[in-house]
Amino acid sequence: MYQEIKINYEEVYSKTAELRQRLQSESREAEATYRQASQTLRRMDGKTNAEYTEAIAANQEKSRITAETLTKLIAFIESSARQVERDEAIITRTFTSARIRTRRR
């Protein structure tokens, strides 16, 4: 006994596109916020501000790396779905072709 797995490829592609777009938007907003905070702190004096500016720069880099990683994961999901879709099409064609040959005999 088997269970059929149905994948709605259009939904996968739609969702990955949506996630990619949201990630880019969030990254742009975060980048702007980091820039604005850094510029404000640079105008001020003090050791604490320097440390805070350093912390902001470190968090900015972590955010960039996280966004990059998520972008790669989204691309992997989309690519995997496309490969499974192609494989399904090949399997379907193979079985359809085999059925046609069997019926002709």
Number of domains in the chain: 1
Q: Is residue 1 part of a domain?
A: no
Q: How far apart are CA 76 and CA 20, in angstroms?
A: 12
pLDDT greater than 80 at residue 3: no
What domain range is 81 assigned to? Answer: 9-104
Model pTM score: 0.71
Q: What is the share, in percent, of the chain residues with pLDDT greater than 90?
A: 55
Residue 98 lies in a domain: yes
Q: What is the pLDDT of residues 51-80, one digit of tens each?
A: 888 888 999 999 999 999 999 999 999 999
* Nearest Cα residue to 56 out of 69, 41, 70, 68: 41
